[in-house]
Structure 1
Amino acid sequence: SPYSTDSVIYRGFCPSGTYAADNRAAIIAFDALDRALTDLLEVCCGLAWCGLQYLLRTVFMIHAADGAMLPGVFKALEEQLSGATPVSLGAIVMIEALCHSIAVFLWGFYADRTCKIQLLMRTTLAWGFLTLATSCVGDIASLAIVRALAGIAGAAMGPLSQGLVAAVCPSKQRGKAFGFLAASANIGYILGLLLSTSSSHLDSVGGWRASFALFSVLTLFLAWVLGQVQVEVSSGLFAESRTWARLDRFSGEASTASVVWREMRDNLSLIMRRRSFVVLILQGAFASTLTRSISYLTMWYQYLGFSDVAAGIITSSIPLGYVFGAILAGYASDRLAHSYPLHGRICFGQLTDLAKLFVLGFTFLVLDDPDPKKTEDFVLRCGLSFLFGFFAIMSYSAVVKPLFAEIVPACFIAQAIGAAAAIDGAFASFASTPVIGYFTESVFHYQVTTQPISEMPEALRLQNATALGRAISAVMTGSAVLSLMSFGFLHLTFPDDYKQTVEEEGDRDSEVTTEDSDDSAFSESKGGPTSRRVRFNVTYGTGKPQETLQESQA
């Protein structure tokens, strides 16, 4: 249309792809429609992100339940599987953990090079079939093979889920997001342990095999849901949103094996150059040692004279504390991170580790050994176990995991989490239960016996209870002290690493913006739209063009 004083010229495209008339009301209507559609899209994607968080929590819950079921059916396996003994079953658990530690970093590296949701769907599908295979094993050798493969497949769940949360979730909400993930995992652990233990000898419903078969069906259904989410994210409505665009932003391209290994080495070298990563590895190693030492607590309470049920209830209070502690810590940590970005989370971690140390000292050093005949001692020990779990999970879920996402660029988050899990797990495997076993026998003179606790001489029972209690106290208290001391170094290293990460992310954003600008110029030269948002110039009889919609919003 010819230019006139009272007319307007629309140079872009409206959402329907047709040119707008030179009518002021039409352009205002198109602008309002575009704003409404874009805002509605982002609102829908925000709701979808909430749904994805619930889906990831479900993944964590079922994965933790699967991991808790095998120890819960040890006795049934010993009775029904050929070659199953306490030694062979313990070796299977060790093999599964070893395969998990080896594979977790590789999964983290691969997760940063591909679509995390698609990879999570595939590994969940494989894990579901392996859980089903566990319910069908007939001897100890086949069980060892299946669980080793399950350890490899299950190792992907942590880096993928946590890397997905860290890549998409805003930094000031990561504590809450990781807290709910940890809480979901512990709820699954409790449910899996209760289900497997209570049904392990119910032959009318299939016994322990039915438990694994049930969870395999749930896992396969979860894989199908993840597949539907992946299709929607890659090609559906949400593929056009800024929120979901982050999922594909850091995906790598196909490369040869030599290039992949060289890139893996370079990435690990870059991660290790972050001083805060080294400090977090050190702190995590001591914290993991402390957590794994809990496995001896049930045995200690049994030696003190508590029944199997009572000892199990006391010990189960710890993961129950994990659930509540992880959720509350997420909110508190995010609030402190918002007010004090460089030191808020670290101070919160030190405070919770100090509270955890206080609970341990009160449990092992201040109080006398509990009397199983006194109800108040049983209630007190349950309360202390709950408080220990409540404070022990806080630094892990609300401090350590969010800090990993803030000391490296987003394209390295899954690798950093995977490398930390591998190193911490390997260190704790040697520094927790083996050290307690050595202290118990060689330092505190534990007497090895095959007698049931109920048939032991009173002197021998008390001697072993004392030896085991002192060994647990030494390892757990020492690990808590070293973990607390390690946190202090983060005040020196984290500010520099955080600023460096922000600068690197800014450089990447500039590169992306430049590429987008080039693409936009190319589209404009071809006569196509330059943006998903409406771009227009309006002249109200003064000859002065107005700003584009994006520029005016900026």
Structure 2
Amino acid sequence: MAGVISAASARTRTTVLLNLASIVEKADEQVLPAVYFFIMRSLKCTPSQLGTLTLCRALVQALSSPISGVLGDKYDRTHIIAVGCFLWGIMTSAIGLSTSVYQAMLWCAFNGVGLALVIPCIQSLIADYNPPEQRGSAFGLMFFISAMGGMIGGFFGTNVGHFQPLGIEGWRLAFHLMALVSLVTAALVFLHAADPRRKGLISPLLLSELGMAHAHKDSMDEKEMLRHATGSHGSLKSMLNARPASGGKGTSVSSHFRQMYEDVMTVMRIRTFQLIILQGIVGTTPWCAMVFFTLWLQLLGFSDLVSSTIMATFSCGCALGAFMWGLIGDQMSRRFPNAGRIITCQLSVVTGLPLSALVLKGLPTTTVGGGPMDELLLTYACSMLLMGFVISGCGANNSAMFADIVPEELRSTVYAFDRSFEGGVAASAAPLVGLIAENAFGYAGSVGEAPGATGEAQNRSNADALSSSLLVCLLVPWSLCFLFYFSLYSFYPRDRRKTKELSAALAPHRARSDGRPGVFGSGGFRRIAND
């Protein structure tokens, strides 16, 4: 059973490193909006320009994500993750060196390339390492851990921003330190993580069956136990004998790219994929808009420490919500296999609508005795915690549904194109919030340009304009997202059944002599997916 132990060890080690990469990715992502206030003051820019920083990164990230998907389905995904961590680390440091908002836009764009390489491969590996009935909780745990990384990054950036150690502006130091952490993560993933498709490991999906065989048939020898698992997973022998890809001997470059194109078009034709992308575009838009939450709190008059504390509680709510909604989705999918996860997502979306209105327009913006806004910490923190919890249900369950509608060889592609389409359109929300605030609700000037009480009044007026703009960018997209989920009740069961039947039928033929997945040479999935 040495092979089983080796696979279990690789699974544990790789899962830890994948979650570490998720933490660093989210922390890196959240440092930028956490220091909007300080960048605005340092580089003399407007809210719409700040939103453009996020847009540049998110747009390039979206356009680059398909590269991650194609590479992840052909090469070692852990190496791709490591390269992504290294690249975004270098670009993050470059952002900290920027002397104008336009330089920052350029480096943010390149930073998006590194970020694009990471998440699709992480999601694909998590799907491979967990059976279908546990994927909701597995993705929920990933989102939980990454949200904690976002909390750390946001809290750190906001509180460091106003310091000037060694004459370096605090927000710049925050970027440099994040870059260092990213480079260390890249080295750890490259050296110690394992892609089960490339390392010749027993598939982690078979470990539970091997464990049951061992528990119920203590008298069985190793070969008998392997045969027991092979009864329902004919690819076990292939995985035992798998070797890393040799680079495609005997395959022309043109045929290689033709196969990539066909794989991509296969994913694009799946109706469930199209519909999840459609709801995801509008559903992700509010998340891109919420990068202004920290700035909104600071304009209201909260101190940097209290603003970051409130945002930390929001991130905690998002983290707990992602994990709990993932567990709920698993339970619902067991009871209602074809509708459970869809119902879970809709519940999350619809409960988030009134809470968004409460947080942005229902909470007090002045204290009873005219004291500092920090006195309202508990009120805002509890409201943001609850909001973060209820709105975080879609990510884990959407990821689990994606894993159900394509075979494992195309999972990196499906996650990459999900990021591409959703991120590309939703990224426009960040500058859109600024434009709506400036042109529709009267946001004027930069941060407290006028002195004394006049500057405070200007900040409060701008905070009100920003909250109105945020409310528009949350309620409208989420309402559409809720409605779009209804279409999945018709198509998800069909696509799920087709993929399940195909995977079972083609499992014995999943490996070729060169150790690379061989399902698609026959075109089987393409034919069935298009029926």
Shared fold (TM-score, shorter chain, > 0.5): yes
Q: Deviations over 1:64-104 (max 9, x none)?
A: 22223344456666788xxx442676554432222211111
**Cα distance, 1:108 vs structure 2:** 1.0
Structure 1, 256-265 or 138-147: larger mean CA deviation = 138-147
- Counterpart of 1:500 in structure 2 is 498
Distance of 1:231 and 1:130 partners within structure 2: 26
**Cα distance, 1:137 vs structure 2:** 6.5
- Counterpart of 1:51 in structure 2 is 13
**Cα distance, 1:151 vs structure 2:** 1.7
Distance of 2:505 and 2:244 partners within structure 1: 14
- Counterpart of 1:86 in structure 2 is 45
Find the partner of 2:347 among 344, 348, 351: 351
Q: Deviations over 1:319-347 (max 9, x none)?
A: 12111112222222222223332222112
SS of residue paired to 1:155: helix
What pairs with 1:464-543 in structure 2 (closer than 5 Å)? 465-512=463-510
- Counterpart of 1:384 in structure 2 is 383
RMSD over aligned CA atoms reads 3.7
- Counterpart of 1:330 in structure 2 is 326
Quick check: 1:285 aligned with 2:285?
Answer: no
Find the partner of 2:272 among 263, 276, 291: 276
**Cα distance, 1:463 vs structure 2:** 5.9
Structure 1, 307-316 or 474-483: larger mean CA deviation = 307-316
**1:465–1:187: structure 2 CA closer, same or farther, 3 Å change rule?**
closer
TM-score, normalization: structure 2? 0.76
SS of residue paired to 2:427: helix
Letter in 2 for 1:177: A
Q: Judge conservation of contact 2:404–2:496 (CA < 8 Å) in 1.
A: yes
- Counterpart of 2:113 in structure 1 is 152
Q: Deviations over 1:412-469 (max 9, x none)?
A: 1111111111111122123x244444544554x4152455486338987776555443
**1:208–1:69: structure 2 CA closer, same or farther, 3 Å change rule?**
same
Structure 1: stretches of 5+ with no match in the other structure: 1-37, 517-554
Q: Deviations over 1:43-74 (max 9, x none)?
A: 44224312211110001111222223344456
Distance of 1:310 and 1:184 partners within structure 2: 23
Ranked by relative contact order (alpha carbons within 8 Å, sequence separation 6 or more), the top structure is 2
- Counterpart of 1:226 in structure 2 is 189
Distance of 1:437 and 1:145 partners within structure 2: 20
Distance of 2:312 and 2:37 partners within structure 1: 19
SS of residue paired to 2:200: helix
Q: Judge conservation of contact 1:293–1:476 (CA < 8 Å) in 2.
A: yes
Larger Rg: 1
**1:258–1:436: structure 2 CA closer, same or farther, 3 Å change rule?**
same
SS of residue paired to 2:391: helix
- Counterpart of 2:134 in structure 1 is 173
**1:407–1:193: structure 2 CA closer, same or farther, 3 Å change rule?**
same
Quick check: 1:42 aligned with 2:7?
Answer: no
Distance of 1:123 and 1:514 partners within structure 2: 29
Structure 2: stretches of 5+ with no match in the other structure: 206-238, 515-531
**1:229–1:384: structure 2 CA closer, same or farther, 3 Å change rule?**
same
Find the partner of 1:371 among 358, 366, 375: 366
Letter in 1 for 2:149: G
Letter in 2 for 1:98: L
**1:216–1:295: structure 2 CA closer, same or farther, 3 Å change rule?**
closer
**1:364–1:77: structure 2 CA closer, same or farther, 3 Å change rule?**
closer
Structure 1, 328-337 or 200-209: larger mean CA deviation = 200-209
Distance of 1:247 and 1:212 partners within structure 2: 45
Letter in 1 for 2:45: P
Distance of 1:480 and 1:89 partners within structure 2: 23
SS of residue paired to 1:381: helix
**Cα distance, 1:355 vs structure 2:** 2.0
Find the partner of 1:400 among 398, 401, 410: 398
Q: Judge conservation of contact 1:116–1:247 (CA < 8 Å) in 2.
A: no
Q: Deviations over 1:134-190 (max 9, x none)?
A: 566677776555443332122111111111111232111111211121122221122
Q: Identity of paired residues, percent?
A: 22
SS of residue paired to 1:456: helix
- Counterpart of 1:69 in structure 2 is 31
**1:197–1:355: structure 2 CA closer, same or farther, 3 Å change rule?**
closer
**1:194–1:377: structure 2 CA closer, same or farther, 3 Å change rule?**
closer
Q: Deviations over 1:398-421 (max 9, x none)?
A: x11111111112111111111111
Q: Judge conservation of contact 2:54–2:430 (CA < 8 Å) in 1.
A: no
Letter in 2 for 1:166: A
Q: Deviations over 1:281-321 (max 9, x none)?
A: 12111211111222333444455554554444434432121
Find the partner of 2:335 among 336, 339, 342: 339
**1:455–1:434: structure 2 CA closer, same or farther, 3 Å change rule?**
same
SS of residue paired to 2:366: coil
Distance of 1:320 and 1:341 partners within structure 2: 29
SS of residue paired to 1:114: coil
Distance of 1:461 and 1:242 partners within structure 2: 57
Distance of 1:136 and 1:464 partners within structure 2: 29
TM-score, normalization: structure 1? 0.73
Distance of 2:44 and 2:456 partners within structure 1: 28
Letter in 2 for 1:110: L
- Counterpart of 1:112 in structure 2 is 73
